[in-house]
A = this chain, B = another copy of it.
Amino acid sequence: MKRVGLLGCGAIGSEIAFAIDSGKISAKLTHIYDFSKDNSKKLVDKLQNKPVVTENVGLLAASPVDLIIEAASQDAVRDDILSILQNRKDVMIMSVGALLDESIFDIVMDGCRDFNKRVYLPSGAIIGLDGIRAVQDELDLVTLVTTKNPRALKGAKFFETSTIDPDKITTSVVIYEGNAQEAVKLFPANINVAALLSLAGIGSEKTRVKIIADPCASKNTHEIYAEGKFGKFSIKVENVPSPSNPKTSRLATLAAIECLKKICGTPLNIGT
């Protein structure tokens, strides 16, 4: 049975911890760390099988686990991933957006190669990455269309320089069109989805992104269109927000748990 460490005990990290604790995943959560001691303490209190709370990230990286789950932040990926790989642990990364920074991406890839370790990225709040990866070499076009309630878009950097006021949007309107590279700077909340799609497909420069603000939208919707020699894909995901953290989709948590199940060894591996 794989031994797992958890970096980050917030909403998603805790959900994953509960899934392991419930026996759903053939793994043992043995070590955890969160920069807030309060967070890790709260989590430990709720778990049946108590993991060790390490004093710092370095000690988590050096702990006797096979895999560390990053569920902390992009900064954590930036600062800690190399040390985790150096300590010969595989990593499952939740803050995938960090990998859009090419220097971080290179560090991760070099780390994997040098220490013969693997990095896993669950599909997050989108689906169909099995298909996008399969046709990667034949893709001519990939477009992501995200539709959210203006409330859910509020606070995005985009509005600092735009004449659009999210509070005054009364009908569904396209507020942004550009590439993924630019989009994630203006709409950081969309970064994980854009990063996953870019990495699986044709990169963040070529991946097109359209953002729609719809005051009637109650769910976060992502649509993906892909075309190439293979044919065409269109995907639409309407996501219910996570009950424990309305900023993330329930799907993102479920995808992480499923990904972990696969890493920890289901005999039947369904899907590319």
Residues of A within 8 A of B (CB): 108-109, 112-113, 117-123, 126-136, 138, 196, 199-200, 219, 229-240, 249-251, 254-259, 262, 265, 267-272
Q: If A123-B130, A254-B135 touch, does A262 touch B272 (CB 8 Å cutoff)?
A: yes
Selected A-B contacts with CB under 8 Å, 22 pairs = A109-B267, A109-B268, A118-B265, A118-B269, A122-B134, A122-B272, A123-B130, A127-B128, A127-B131, A127-B132, A127-B233, A128-B130, A131-B237, A131-B255, A133-B270, A134-B257, A136-B258, A199-B268, A229-B250, A232-B236, A233-B235, A256-B272
Contacts of A233 in B (CB 8 A): 127, 235-238
By a CB distance below 8 angstroms, the chain B residues around A117 are 267
Min CB distance, A213 to chain B, in Å?
A: 19
Asked whether, in the complex, the Cβ of A271 is within 8 Å of the Cβ of B129, the reply is yes
Contacts of A196 in B (CB 8 A): 270-271
* Whole-angstrom distance between the Cβ of A180 and the nearest chain B Cβ: 15
A250 to chain B, nearest CB (A): 5
Whether A134 contacts B258 in the complex (CB less than 8 A), given A231-B240, A233-B237, comes out as yes
Contact B123 A271 (CB under 8 A): yes
**Does the CB pair A134–B251 fall under 8 Å?**
yes
Whose C-beta in chain B lies nearest to the C-beta of A105?
A: B268
Bound-state CA distance A235–B225 (Å) is 10
Let me know if A267 and B112 touch, CB within 8 A. Answer: yes
Q: In the complex, which residues of chain B have a beta carbon less than 8 angstroms from the beta carbon of A120?
A: 269
Q: Smallest distance from the beta carbon of A175 to chain B beta carbons, Å?
A: 22
A119–B265 Cα distance when bound, in Å, is 11
